[in-house]
């Protein structure tokens, strides 16, 4: 399945779990965007990997890998599935991030996307950062530091470069985010050391980014007036609390010839007559707009939000086929995640 495939990443239907048995699906815990690190509290910090969230379920010597929406990607990552199946456990759930590292050892999101596009995923590795279940025991109510101690000892015994432990760092968060930005990484993740694992968005996990970057829904394209093909820019939107899709700006995509041809074919399937946006933009004199069903999600970095709710100086990062369009809204950083307990 290429990144422009027709299939849409809707959340998988979760079968009911049997009390006391290992869950069939675990919804991941998600971090809250903040503008600065907390001033106090028991926090640990890790690198924010530029990749796809991936949870691994192991039972009876077989492993399965799930996206954040519960879709089984085991067949797309057979090398990770096979090495995970060799871990010496009766059953387990791991949380982590699938990524590709460049020649300098830094996560490369574009290389990750190309690996999936070309069905050559052997370069994808999995950084594991949490252990949710082990040998019949639910660890989600245990504090993070206790879970990670067990995980660290387990990962020390795994001899493969495909599965790696996500280290946490002792530096103060200001120094760590400065170092991450200097290395052109996406940012850092902070986690409360005394917190349990709770599915869904939480202020017990926070993310501090080096620059503004988030997902947008593609609701149309702009092309040169009179042209039968080609894409000058993608028209982007975010869902508002009332369910309406609001236009939020545009970005010029950077696509390989193969990706461009695949996207052009997709356009033919998802065209619509009316704009999906509640505030559709007007075309420039030399262009025309083509409206699309809001089924594709793009990741975009940008300088800032304007007072009118549009992004400035946008840069295309890639397509996120692992995230459902309806989950895309404007990310707003909170001042601080600190709170006394």
Buried b (16+ CB within 10 A) or exposed e, 179-207: ebbeeebbbbbbbbeebbbeeeebbbbbb
| Other Cβ atoms within 10 Å of 42 Cβ, number | 14
Task: Give the chain's radius of gyration (CA, Å).
Answer: 21
- State the Cα–Cα distance between residues 284 and 231, nearest whole angstrom: 14
In which residue are the tokens 């996120």 written?
320
| Other Cβ atoms within 10 Å of 341 Cβ, number | 7
Q: Decide: 192 and 273 in contact? Cβ < 8 Å.
A: no
The H or E element containing residue 189 is: strand 187-192
What does the block give as tokens for 94? 């791991």
Which of 108, 288, 294 is CA-nearest to residue 183?
108
Distance of CA 149 to the CA centre of its chain: 25
| Other Cβ atoms within 10 Å of 84 Cβ, number | 27
- 3-class DSSP state of 265: helix
* Distance linking the first and last C-alpha atoms of the chain: 46
Q: Active-site residues: which are they? A: 48
Q: Cβ neighbours of residue 106 under 8 Å, at least 6 residues apart?
A: 183, 184, 185
């Amino acid at each position: 399945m290429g990144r422009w495939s027709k299939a849409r990443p809707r959340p998988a239907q979760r079968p009911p779990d049997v009390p006391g048995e290992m869950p069939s699906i675990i919804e991941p815990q998600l971090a809250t965007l903040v503008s600065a690190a907390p001033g106090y509290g028991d926090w640990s910090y890790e690198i924010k990997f530029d990749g796809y969230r991936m949870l691994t379920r192991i039972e009876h010597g077989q492993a399965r890998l799930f996206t954040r929406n519960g879709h089984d990607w085991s067949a797309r990552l057979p090398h990770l599935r096979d090495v995970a199946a060799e871990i010496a456990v009766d059953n387990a759930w791991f949380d982590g991030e699938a990524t590709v590292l460049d020649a300098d050892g830094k996560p490369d999101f574009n290389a990750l996307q190309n690996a999936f596009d070309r069905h050559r995923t052997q370069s994808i590795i999995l950084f594991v950062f949490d252990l949710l279940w082990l040998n019949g025991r639910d660890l989600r109510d245990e504090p993070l530091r206790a879970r990670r101690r067990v995980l660290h000892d387990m990962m020390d015994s795994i001899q493969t470069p495909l599965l790696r432990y996500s280290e946490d760092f002792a530096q103060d968060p200001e120094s760590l985010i400065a170092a991450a930005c200097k290395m052109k990484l996406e940012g850092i993740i902070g986690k409360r050391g005394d917190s349990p694992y709770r599915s869904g968005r939480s202020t017990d996990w926070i993310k501090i980014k080096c620059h503004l970057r988030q997902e947008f829904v593609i609701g149309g394209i702009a092309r040169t007036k009179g042209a039968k093909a080609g894409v000058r820019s993608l028209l982007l939107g975010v869902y508002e609390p009332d369910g309406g899709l609001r236009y939020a700006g545009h970005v010029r995509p950077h696509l390989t010839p193969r990706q461009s041809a695949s996207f052009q074919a997709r356009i033919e399937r998802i065209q619509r007559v009316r704009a999906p946006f509640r505030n559709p933009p007007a075309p420039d004199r030399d262009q025309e707009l083509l409206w699309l069903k809001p089924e594709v999600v793009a990741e975009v970095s940008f300088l800032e939000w304007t007072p009118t709710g549009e992004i400035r100086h946008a840069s295309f990062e890639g397509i996120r086929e692992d995230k459902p369009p309806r989950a895309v809204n404007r990310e707003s950083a909170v001042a601080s995640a600190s709170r006394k307990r």
